[in-house]
Structure 1
């Protein structure tokens, strides 16, 4: 009887050991599927995506070398119908998490699923975009990082670069909610500091050059919010601004790199990395987006495009943090 009991216990232990080995083996093959939806390709959003992937890969590797991540990247190329169909595809597939880059992408994804965890970045205001109930406690399947920069400081910076009393030019796309919010902030700052504004709205890249030509000679400088259309048009804006000798302060560092004069703001690559840390907590620590506060950029810095500054007659070394 004792021999039989010992034999049964030994067999049971062997089964448990084999099961443990099987589980360990399975965990070594563990794979996470991460979807990515981006509204349009341009420097800022591309940088956010690259920063996200770099940091998430690093965080996962540090946690466990054997874990793999499969990325499914979709770019709508600025087309709303593409955006909707791509959002549908990503939410129907078995993704463990989806990244939405920019407000339109985030909104398209949020409309398609209420269960798959979504992290977003390059969104100016998640609450006004209908993505969360509250920044402190989203109470939806969405959380992420905001790209709202220090608008007041950026306008202040522009006023230090202007050389006359003409109005400050502001150009944006009125169909982008994030841009509308920032322009409201510009208006408030201008009213409080007795600044005149010349505000122009454009809705396509084809309108940018003509809008800038119309502003030349009428403004002392140009402010561009973190706007997808403006970011996509920075090469054109930079060329026209240099010809008109106009300083351009942008909402993001990447926009200034692509054609602006300077900015005091966020770096989208860093913002993407910050978003990846939130994604890691969802995938590995099993945190729920519903309870993860929305974050703002941890870092702000002054960036000066020295070549562009010199081209319009400004000494880049004299441009200081506002």
Structure 2
């Protein structure tokens, strides 16, 4: 199946209370990860890098691993303070303030709410983001081409049109699609609206099903049974973290779910055209190294994207078997 292209220029643009000190310390391990200092790197303990990850789920974990791998392979010396907000916005703000007060040389923010919290806490420390769909629409930069401030990074804009085309190929009889996402995540709306445009052009009925928290996922998916023929779930952090619940309910009710990324397929979704979140994090790590060692200015560093050629078709065999969906035509698919 030919890959459909999506221009980034066609994107749809759109304190907090402190935890107890012991609880905050439990959010990250603060471990040191020293590398050998490069020619332009610092000596001794090296650069101080803070990491704020919104929540634990496969895609964001892979983004984090890719970032660290890029640092290691660059040869710079550094210490890293890993913090996880457990999908709590007030925790994001608390941790962001901590990293700024620690005087980090650079902060890596994984997912939109994490980046928004860090950007709100400092206009001086360089901030590199990742697993963020549209930086401009999220208010993080002046424009994706010319950020203009202290924030830059890599975008996880996925090939939404290809994912909908995949849905049509695997489920040719589908007449209606429910779009499942979290209303609290601004970047999910970018993907939702892109999906609606493609479904509209294909003449497929569609309806939004939004949750405000993970506690609503099971009930929302149950409410879709009998109303839609398939579900589309974009790369939404709340849905990704709760994908086991989504797939449990959907698969029991023979409701196929086309998802936004590979880890969501691994957690029970039927299929996806997915970017590699490891590669996405690695790209962000390369940007961080340039800022730290080459005096690159985030203001002048355009948001970077993975190309459609770097996407992987991935299918869950067990889910396909449970749903009775024929995947034999997907010759180049990675089967999990």
Alpha-carbon distance, 1:31 to partner: 0.5
Aligned counterpart, 1:77? 86
1:278 pairs, out of 284, 287, 298, with 287
Richer in helix (by share): 1
TM-score (norm 2): 0.83
Structure 2 residue 328 is matched with structure 1 residue 317 = yes
Alpha-carbon distance, 1:108 to partner: 0.6
Q: Distance in 2 between matches of 1:183 and 1:243?
A: 25
Aligned counterpart, 2:56? 41
Aligned counterpart, 2:47? 32
Aligned counterpart, 1:50? 65
Cα 1:27/1:189, change in 2 over 3 Å: closer
Unpaired runs of at least 5, structure 1: 1-23, 62-66
Alpha-carbon distance, 1:166 to partner: 3.5
CA contact (8 A) 2:175 2:204 kept: no
Aligned counterpart, 2:264? 255
Instruction: Name which of structure 1's ranges 300-309 and 122-131 shifts more when overlaid on structure 2.
Output: 300-309
Aligned counterpart, 1:10? none
CA contact (8 A) 1:129 1:177 kept: yes
Q: Distance in 1 between matches of 2:145 and 2:224?
A: 41
CA RMSD of aligned residues (A): 1.8
Q: Distance in 1 between matches of 2:50 and 2:246?
A: 33
Unpaired runs of at least 5, structure 2: 1-38
Q: Distance in 1 between matches of 2:109 and 2:194?
A: 25
Structure 2 residue 316 is matched with structure 1 residue 305 = yes
For 1:183-194, list aligned pairs within 5 A: 183-194=192-203
CA contact (8 A) 2:170 2:327 kept: no
CA contact (8 A) 1:154 1:264 kept: yes
CA contact (8 A) 1:157 1:321 kept: no
Q: Distance in 2 between matches of 1:122 and 1:58?
A: 21
CA contact (8 A) 1:166 1:218 kept: no
Alpha-carbon distance, 1:103 to partner: 0.5
Cα 1:219/1:321, change in 2 over 3 Å: farther
CA contact (8 A) 2:168 2:174 kept: no
Query: Radius of gyration: which is bigger?
Result: 1
Equivalent pairs counted in the alignment come to 292
Alpha-carbon distance, 1:41 to partner: 1.1
CA deviation map 1:290-313 (0-9, x unaligned): 111110114212111122112211
Alpha-carbon distance, 1:30 to partner: 5.4
Alpha-carbon distance, 1:181 to partner: 1.5
Q: Distance in 2 between matches of 1:214 and 1:144?
A: 37
Q: Distance in 2 between matches of 1:182 and 1:259?
A: 21
Aligned counterpart, 1:147? 156
